[in-house]
Every structure is written in C-alpha cells, then in structure tokens.
Structure 1
Amino acid sequence: MKIKTITCHEVYNHGASLQEYALLKHLEFLGHEAETIHYKPPYLSNHFNLWRISNDRYNNIVLKLAYLVLKLPSRLKSLKRKREFDDFSLKFIKSTKKLYRSNEELKLDVPEADAYICGSDQIWNSFFENGKDPAFYLDFVPDNKLKISYAASFAIDKLEDHLKEFVKEKVSRLNHISVRELSGKSILEDLGIERAHQVLDPVFLLEPTEWESLIPIQKKTKKYIFIYDFDSNSLIKQMAENLKKRYGWEIISVNELIKYTDRNYFLEGPIKFLYLVKNAEFVISNSFHAVAFSIIFEKDFVVFNRYDKINTRMRDLLSNLALDNLLIMSEDMVKDHELNKIDYTLVQKKLNLSIKSSKEFLMEALK
C-alpha cells in the first residue's frame, strides 16, 4: 500500500525528526511504501533565516541593519546545526519531491497514496499555528481515501472554545483516530468523538536495537549528566550541579541557552542526541522525547514541567508506566530524589502491552 504521512517536517528538533523517522520505518516494516509529505507552511519555514528580525522595536533601516550585523556571526555558525538535521532527513526520511506551502496547495495537487496518516507529535497543538492548520487534520484528502491519525498530540489539557467546532469537524472526517495522550482522548470525547484510541509515540514502535544501530561507536568519554531543557529551568540547573558536585559527572546539553554545561552539542543533529541519551549516567529534561528515549534505553532520569503549559505529554506517559514520582515539582523533590530507583522490569511489562495495542491499532486501521 502507498502511504503518505504528514507531520511537522524539518523543524530542526530532535524529537520531531526521530518520531517522523520511526513512523516511516515501522510502516516499511509492515510492508508498505511510505513517505512523508514535504509540507512547509510559512510559520514552519523561518528556521535559520539569516535576515530574520524578531523584535518589532527595530523599526527603521539603521536599527535593522545594526541588529542584523550583530546577529549574523552566530546565525552563520548555527547553519552547522541545519546541515546536521538536513543530512539526517536526506539519509533517513523519505519525502515527496514536491514542496507544499499550504492546505490549498495540497488540495490542488493531492500527493498520490492509498492511505494518509497525520501524526505524530504536536500536530494538533493549538498553542502553535499547526494546531489550527487544516492540513494537519488531512483536510486536503478526498472523502474516498483512507485517513488515519496516529499518535496525534494536542499537548494541552483543553481546547479554547473558539476552536472546538473546527477540531470536531476536521477530526470527524478521519476514518481511524488515535491520539498520543489520554488528555487528547478526553478532548475529543468532550467534542462528542468517542472512537479515539490512545497509542504510543512512534519512537516506541521500533526496538531499542534499531535505535542503537543508528549510533556510531565512539570512544568512551567521562561520565556525564545529559540535560535537555527548553526553559533554562533553575531547578534543573540546581539538580545537575548537585549531582556533579556529588559524583564528579560532567554536565552535557544540546540546548543553546544552557550555559553551565561542560560541553554543549547544540550544533549536532538527531544521531548525537541518541548517543547522548544512550550513554548518560542520568538524564534531566522537560522534553517528551528525552523522556521517551530515556525509557527506551532504560536510563535513570527525571522530568520537569515546561513553563508554557504543554505538560500533558510527559505527565500522561509517566502515568501510563507508573513513573509519576519522576515528575519533579519542587526544590524539596530535587533534594530528596534518589538515583537508580526505576524498576525497568515492571516498566517494560506495561510498555510492552502499550506497544502491542499501538501496533494493533495501526495494522487494523490500514486494513
């Protein structure tokens, strides 16, 4: 069967790239011919724009030129990160030759397929523009074609009232519906859509050995803590520095703004991210996919809430695996947390059941 997927493509985020790869890889394993739609609407196309001015106060030509001159050296340096991610996409993520910029463009020239899958990741998160984009609900696909959502994530607890009718109308067109979080299932049930299933993120559809096969063998470095922190969270810094002082572990990150690290690999791509999670002594993050890969590689880890209210992703995943105690909510929890207390034998039992049901949903939907 020919399958086209649509997700947030080429957004230069480790988790987004790896989940996109995983879904395509699993569909190929099932015997299908799968590729992602090269969909880049304007709001997802401004990464690494050398001439971007993000502050409105630079409102005359002199200020704009001064701003760009100051920003240009760091922006040129950051192009290495773009190249790393582009190389990963070129090598591992098969996509349509045609580039689409809008839902209307997709409607005018629908990519040929027998079935279409939207997902995974935060495609339905209305906190961002993609959650309001009809394309991510397969609006462009004709009624007579098979339409499936796989592990689509709202990433929030509830929709704003003015979006409810839009979401209800678009999701109701899908033949088979699955979401990544229980909270997403609840959102749809509140809209009167009762047939949604909860499934796991695509990264769990691949065996750990398949992920390990992507990681090149490298000379062992010093023991380290891996930080994946989008918010420059002061509690994460406190916990990391406490562990460094106690055990002598280095602190490593891939977040550009984390300045207290011993080493920072912000300019590296998804393969380096996998390596850093796999070989860490301890992982501290507020990232869904850092949590997911910590579980896949059976690492010791903790999770912190994000500041921008998109925490349902981590919370639901931890709850499903009875790991709620790993969500750090206060300074006291930072001080009291004990290392190496995760029983991965129990976690794996729960995880295997969820993996099985996720794979069954996809197989049944594609029949």
Structure 2
Amino acid sequence: MEKKRVGIITLHNWFNYGSMLQSYAGQKNIEALGYECELIDFRHPRVDNNRSYKLYKPSEEDAEIAKRFRGELVRRKAAFESWLPLYNLSPRLYSSEEELKGNKDYDIYATGSDQIWNVNFRMASSAYFLAFTDSHNKVALASSIGRCKWEMLGNYAQHIEKFRQVYIREQAGADYLSEHLPHMKDRIGVMLDPTLLVSREDWEAVARESSFGECSRGDYIACYATLDEEMEHMLPMLEKLHRLTGLKVALFGMMQPRFADYIENVVDVGPREWLSLIANASFVLTHSFHGTAFSLKFQRPFITYNDNLENPRKEGILKKFGLLGRIAHQANEIEEIYKTAIDFETVGKYMKVDIEESRDKLRRALDGCR
C-alpha cells in the first residue's frame, strides 16, 4: 500500500534553536507513524538570519566585540547551516504566499509547531494557516498562539475553521480558540511540543554529533537566552547561582556576550551544540520555552526566568508537570528554588503518559484524513 504524503509548513529555515529543533522533530514524529513527510520549503521573506553571524550592534564598542568573536560567529553560521540537511525538504522553494497557492503535492497538509499562529509575530503569514490549499485534509500540530488577542487572530478565523483537527501546544491557547470558535470545540485540543515526542536517547545521539564531540556531563551552569533585555534581568540571577554553586557559567544564545570572571561566552553554537550544552549541564537557567522543555527532557535541574506578564508557553508546560515553582521573577527567589530538588522520576511518569497521548492524537489526526 502506497504511503500517504504529508506536507508540513513551519519556520524550519529560521536560524533559531527552538524553531529548527521543533521542525526536525515534527517531521521525525510523522515519519515514525509510517507516513512520507516533507517540510514545505517556504522561506518567509521576513526571515532574517543575519543574527546568526552578525550579533552586534554597529557601535564602536560592539564592533570590537564582533571582531573578538569573528571566528566563533563564522562557525556558528556554519553550525546552523549544517542542520538543514537533516530535513526532508520539498523539491521546490517557495518565496511568497502567492507561489504556494494551489499546491496539490500532498495527501495531508499540516502546520506546526512553535509560535507560527502568533500573529503578533513579524513573520505572521496566512501560509501557516494553510490558506494556500483547498485540501480538506488540514491539521494543526502543537501550534502556539502566544499572547495573541482575537482582534488580530480573528482575521485568520476563516482559515482555522477549515481544519479537520486543531491541536494547540498550550491549554490556555486551546481554551481561547474554543471560546471564540465554539462551533469548533470538538476539533480543538492540546498536544505536546514535537520535541518532547522524540526520545531522550535520540536527542542525545544528535547532541553527540556536535562540534564539541563526545561531551560528558560538565560542572557548569548552562545559561541560554535569546534577548538582551531578558538577559539583563537574568544576570543578577546568574550571579546568585554562581555564588551558590561555585560553578562557572556557559553563556549562549542570540544576545550580546557578557563579561565576568565566572562567565564563558560560548558563541559557536548551532542546534547540535545547543543540545549538548543543555544535556550535559549541572544546572540550567533560561527564559526560553525550549530551554525549559529540554531541561525536562534531559532531566537537568533548572530555573526558568519569567517576567511579570502572563506567559502561557512557559507556564503551560511547567503547570502540566507540577513545576510552576521553578519560575523565578527576581534574584531573591533563586536560592529557595535552587535548593528545592526536582522529582524527575515522578515528572518522567507524567511526561510518559502525555507523550503517549500526544503520539496517539497525532496518529488519529493523520489517520482521520481520507
């Protein structure tokens, strides 16, 4: 019997750790169910990968920093580019929504994951709502709407209504959609981020392919951040963790380096190196959803920084596993959280159940497409 072909559209070509990891995972999860799967090679015109090798602002001071890390920046860009061959991409590259229109290459069309339904995002597109195809077989797999309000998201309601099944990554997002599209309530549910459905062993195998080589468990704090503003808030927390543990810090992510005697700026980090740094850390401090998710996957003790605004992405995953207490808003909360051990055995049991449920939802969503 000929395998059904699934085309999945997501932000696969954005040099962002979470986006590239979830793109790879989404494809692997679909293939594991016996389907052929291609990532539809849609290159959003607003995707800008310059940050992967031009991090620093054009001030005189930042130009000196860029010069200092020139070799590392070149290696980082290469590390991101080396991830792309892991994808099974569509033969055609699409550079606009117009070029996608009328696509009939697949039996099933899927969209997800990460924040591709966050229409406040600069890369928002009707393509991620599968507006380009008139297929009746459309499914959303762990898409996230972030903090979107209906004033914006409602503009895409006509496209959402044409989905056979919609799975949102966060419960709050699924509830929000159900509230505004009550006639779709029986077609809206929740599914774990695709990265969590890939086994820990498989991710560790990918991490071993990093430029760091066979990296054993290290005595360091992994600090992953993407935004300079967030990093400024995290620095007092990081200093506090350093004093509590006596450990050096491996600092990595898409932001400016920070200089202190306990910080090592690890700039030449692609997705494989990112996995290795999380997997082998003694402790993790992050403000990222995927930094949190992989700390759970690799069972590394962690603290997640959150601002005082509601953040359903980070709060949702931690609430699911009974770990809301791992969120810190300021440095004076760090010591108590650090001293509280995580019962990873119990978390693992909860996670195993949710992973099996999500895999079953994925199977039923795809098998239900005629």
If the length of structure 2 is used for normalisation, what is the TM-score? 0.86
Match in the other structure for 1:259: 258
1:151 Cα shift?
Answer: 0.2
Match in the other structure for 1:63: none
2:142 to 127, 151, 160: 151
The one-letter amino acid paired with 2:348 is Q
Q: Are 1:187 and 2:188 matched, yes or no?
A: no
The one-letter amino acid paired with 2:319 is S
Tell me if the contact between 2:287 and 2:304 (Cα under 8 Å) persists in the aligned partners. yes
C-alpha separation in 2, matches of 1:50 and 1:281: 28
2:98 to 99, 104, 126: 104
Q: Which runs of 5+ in 2 are unaligned?
A: none
1:192-212 Cα shifts (integer Å, max 9, x gaps): 231211010001111111111
2:339 counterpart SS class? coil
2:203 counterpart SS class? helix
2:106 to 107, 113, 117: 113
Tell me if the contact between 2:168 and 2:188 (Cα under 8 Å) persists in the aligned partners. yes
The one-letter amino acid paired with 1:186 is D
Q: Are 1:81 and 2:82 matched, yes or no?
A: no
1:150 counterpart SS class? strand
Q: Would the alpha carbon gap of residues 319 and 53 (structure 1) be closer, same or farther in structure 2, given more than 3 Å must change?
A: closer
After TM superposition, the runs of 4+ consecutive aligned structure 1 residues lying more than 4 A away are 48-55, 69-77, 219-222
C-alpha separation in 2, matches of 1:25 and 1:88: 14
C-alpha separation in 2, matches of 1:288 and 1:215: 19
C-alpha separation in 1, matches of 2:331 and 2:241: 14
Q: Which runs of 5+ in 1 are unaligned?
A: 56-65
Q: 1:1-367 maps to which residues of 2 (within 5 A)?
A: 1-45=4-48, 47=50, 78-90=73-85, 92-108=86-102, 110=103, 112-131=105-124, 133-144=125-136, 146-156=137-147, 158-161=148-151, 163-192=152-181, 193-194=184-185, 195-216=187-208, 218=214, 220=216, 223-230=219-226, 231-255=229-253, 256-260=255-259, 262-305=263-306, 311-339=311-339, 341-367=341-367
Q: Would the alpha carbon gap of residues 52 and 322 (structure 1) be closer, same or farther in structure 2, given more than 3 Å must change?
A: closer
C-alpha separation in 2, matches of 1:236 and 1:129: 25
C-alpha separation in 2, matches of 1:262 and 1:96: 42
Q: Would the alpha carbon gap of residues 74 and 312 (structure 1) be closer, same or farther in structure 2, given more than 3 Å must change?
A: farther
If the length of structure 1 is used for normalisation, what is the TM-score? 0.87
1:71-110 Cα shifts (integer Å, max 9, x gaps): 99589753432221111111x11112321112111005x1
1:336 Cα shift?
Answer: 2.7
Q: Would the alpha carbon gap of residues 171 and 219 (structure 1) be closer, same or farther in structure 2, given more than 3 Å must change?
A: closer
Tell me if the contact between 1:124 and 1:130 (Cα under 8 Å) persists in the aligned partners. no
C-alpha separation in 2, matches of 1:182 and 1:28: 26
